[in-house]
Amino acid sequence: MTTLIIIIGAVVYAALYMIYGRKMESEVVKADNAIQTPAHRLYDGVDYVPTRTSVLFGHHFASVAGAAPIVGPVVAMAWGWVPALAWVWFGNIFIGAVHDYLAVMASVRYDGKSIQFVASDLINKRTGYLFYILVFFLLVLVVAAFAAVLGGMFMSNPGIPAAAAYLLIAAVIQGFLMYKTKLPFAVSTAIGIAMLVLVIYLAGVFPLEASRNFWFLAMFFYIIIAAALPVQVLLQPRDYLNAWLLYVGLILGGLGAIFAFQGFTAPAFTSFSPIISAGQPTPFWPVIPLIIACGSLSGFHALVASGTTSKQISSEKAGLAIGYGVMLVEGFLSTIVVIAVAGWGVQVMTGAGQTITTAGWSTQYTPAMSGSFPNAAMFSETWAAMIGDTWLNFIPETFLRIVAGMWVSSFALTTLDSTNRLARYTLAEIFLPLKSKSESLYRFFSNRWVASVIPAAIGVYLGWSGSFGLLWPSFGAANQLIAAIALLTGTAWVSKRLKTKATYAFIPAMALWVTVTAAMVWYLAVVIPVTWAANPATGGTVGFITVAMLIMNIIFIIDFFKTKNQPLADTEIGAE
C-alpha cells in the first residue's frame, strides 16, 4: 500500500505537472522564452543575475522546505489518510502550485518587483501595507506554533533537546570552519556531516532533561540572542547543515515509503469533523487549509518567490519548474509523512500506550498526541518505524528517531531565529505611517531590542500557554490568508495585464478565499471561546489577531472587487 501510494503520488504529480502546469504556462501566463527575463534585461551583477535553473530550483526548494510540511499532515491524519492526501495532492496541484507559479511569473513580468508591489499596483495601495501586518502576525504565530512543537518534543524525548543543543555548538564550529579558516569546502562539509552524526550519538548518550518552563524560557532567550548575532556565527552554518538533514530525511523517507511494502493501518476516512483543534470537532471543510498549509499551499512562498527568485530566473519557461515544480516536490515530502503515519501510526501509538482504534480514530487520534507523545513524536517515530521495516533496518531505530527529531527541531529553531529578524523589519514598517502622528511611538517600536522582544515574547508566551491545537490553525490562517491575497493578486494580474484565461486562477483563488474566510469565522466562533474560557490571556491574544485578520480580509476583498473591473489607467487608449 505504501509503495502504491507513493507511486501514485509521483505519477499524479508528474502527470498533472505536464498537463495542468503546462496548460497554465501556455494559456494563462503565455510564457515565452523570447521575452528576456529581468535577470538578463536588468542584469547588475548584484541581485539581477541569471542563474542556472537547476541551481535555482535547489535554492528555492531549500528556502521553502522546513518543518511545517511535516507537522501539518500529521495533524490532518485525524481525518484519515484519504482526505489528507487529497488536500496534499489536489490542493497543491490546483491551488498551491498555481499560487507559487503565478507569484513568480507576475514578479518576473513586473521587473522582479515583489508580490506586495504588484498588489499595491493592481488592487490598492493599502493591500501592500496589509502584507506587513499579516506577515507580522504570521511571524508571531509561527513562533508560537513552533515553540509549542519544540516544547512538546523536548519534554517527550530528552535526546532531542540534547541534539538541538549539541547541534547549536556544531553549527558554531561549522561556521568557524567554513568562514574563518582556509579549509576546502568539501573538507568542511565532510566535517559538518561527521559532526551531525556525532551529535546524534551524543544526544542518545547524554540526553538533557529539564522542566517545561525551563525550555520555554530557554527558547525565548535563544531567539533574542541568536537574532542579534552576525549571521555567520550561527544562522548561516546551521542553515547549511539543515540542508544535509533534509536530504537524509527525504531520501531515507522516500526509500522507506517505497520499500516498506506495508499496508495502511490508519483508516482511510474517519469522520468529517474529528477532534482536532482545542478539543473541538473540526470540519474538514473549511479548516483543512489551516491544518495542512505548507506542503500544499503557503502564502509565504509568494514572498520568497517574488523576492530573490524572480530576479534570478534565466528564462520564462524555467518559471514552471521553479514556481510550480518546487511546490510539488514539497507536496511529495508531505505525502511521505502521510504514508508514514498511515502505515505505522497505530503501531507507534499503541507502543506508546495510547488507545487507538479505527472506529474511534476521530475522537482518539488528536488527544493521543499529548503529554509525553506529542505531535512531532508521531512523525519521528512513524518515520523511524517505516524505515526500520525496510532493508535499511541496519540503522538503529533510536538513531533514526533522533534524526527525525533533529530534522524538525533544527528547522524549527532556524525559523525562530529568522522570524525574529524579519519581525524587527515588519514592525518598523507597520509603524512607519504613524511616524508623523507620533514620532516617539514609532521610535519605540523600531528600536531593535523592542522590535526583537515583542514578537519573541508574545510568540513564546502563546506557545507556552496555548495548546498546539489552538496555535497551529491560527498560524495556518495567517499563512493561508496571505496565500489567498497573493493568489487573488495573481488573478488580478492575469485578468488585467495578461488578459488571458483568468478562470484558471480566479476559481481556485475564490475557492480558497471563501474557504479561508469561513475557516477563520469557524475558528473565532468555536475555538476561541473555548480557549478564552480556559485562559483569557491566550484566547484573547489569538482571538484579537484572528479578528484583526478577518477585518483586513474584508477590506482586501472589497478593494479587490472594486478594482476588479476597473481598467488600468495606462490601458485606456483615449485621446490617441
Partner 1 sequence: MNPLDPLKRTFQFLKSFSSTMDTAHRNRAVGLTECEVRELENMFVLLLMGSFTGVPAPPSFISAELLPYLEHEIKVVNRRSESASDALSELSGCFDIT
Partner 2 sequence: MKTIFFTGKGGVGKSTLSATCAWQLAEKGYKTLLLSIDPAHNVADIFDTSVGHKKSKFSTNLYLQEANLDKAASVYIEQNIDILTEVYSYTKAFNFDTYFKVLRYSPGVEEYASLTILEQTLRNETDYDFIVFDTPPTGLTLRILALPNISITWVDRLRRIRKQILEKRHTIHNITGKYSEEGFRLAYDEKDDAVMQKLNEIWQRYVNVYKALKGEDNSIAVVFNPDYLSLRESQRILEGLDDLYLPLRAAFNNKYEDRLQDTADEVERELLGANGKKVHIARVPLVPAERRNTYKNDFDVTEAFR
Q: What is the closest distance, in whole angstroms, from the C-beta atom of residue 520 to partner 1 in the complex?
A: 19
Q: Name which of 63 and 232 has its Cβ closer to partner 2.
A: 232
- Single out the residue of 493, 125, 22 nearest to residue 302, CA to CA: 493
Q: Could you list the residues that contact partner 1 (CB under 8 A)? A: 44-48, 52, 54-55, 58-59, 62-64, 66-68, 107, 113-117, 131-132, 135, 139, 142, 178-179, 185, 189, 230-232, 235-237, 239-240, 242-243, 293-294, 298, 300, 303-304, 306-309, 411, 414-415, 418-419, 421-422, 425-426, 429, 479
Q: 381 by DSSP, 3-state: which?
A: helix
Instruction: Please tell me whether the peptide bond between 508 and the residue prior to it is cis, using omega within 30 degrees of 0.
Output: no
Task: Please name the amino acid found at residue 180.
Answer: K
Give the DSSP letter of residue 35.
S
Binding partner of residue 213 among partner 2, partner 1, none, CB cut-off 5 to 8 Å per kind = none
Binding partner of residue 182 among partner 1, partner 2, none, CB cut-off 5 to 8 Å per kind = partner 2
Name the CA radius of gyration of the chain, rounded.
23
Q: What is the closest distance, in whole angstroms, from the C-beta atom of residue 49 to partner 2 in the complex?
A: 8
Binding partner of residue 44 among partner 2, partner 1, none, CB cut-off 5 to 8 Å per kind = partner 1
Q: Name which of 479 and 538 has its Cβ closer to partner 1.
A: 479
Q: Could you list the residues that contact partner 2 (CB under 8 A)? A: 45, 178-179, 182, 185, 232
Which residues are paired to 281 by β-bridges? 275
CB neighbourhood size of 133 (10 A): 18
d(CA 516, CA 285): 10
Q: Name which of 81 and 332 has its Cβ closer to partner 1.
A: 332
Q: CB–CB of 93/20 below 8 Å?
A: yes
Q: What is the closest distance, in whole angstroms, from the C-beta atom of residue 186 to partner 1 in the complex?
A: 9
Q: What is the closest distance, in whole angstroms, from the C-beta atom of residue 356 to partner 1 in the complex?
A: 29
Q: What is the closest distance, in whole angstroms, from the C-beta atom of residue 183 to partner 2 in the complex?
A: 9
Q: Name which of 182 and 499 has its Cβ closer to partner 2.
A: 182
Q: Name which of 84 and 104 has its Cβ closer to partner 1.
A: 104
Binding partner of residue 307 among partner 2, partner 1, none, CB cut-off 5 to 8 Å per kind = partner 1
Binding partner of residue 294 among partner 1, partner 2, none, CB cut-off 5 to 8 Å per kind = partner 1
**Chain centre distance of CA 284:** 20
Q: Name which of 231 and 395 has its Cβ closer to partner 2.
A: 231
Give the DSSP letter of residue 77.
G
Helix (H) or strand (E) segment spanning residue 277: strand 275-277
CB neighbourhood size of 299 (10 A): 26
What the block records as the C-alpha cell of 6 is: 507513493
d(CA 8, CA 94): 17
d(CA 274, CA 285): 12
Q: What is the closest distance, in whole angstroms, from the C-beta atom of residue 454 to partner 1 in the complex?
A: 17
d(CA 237, CA 259): 33
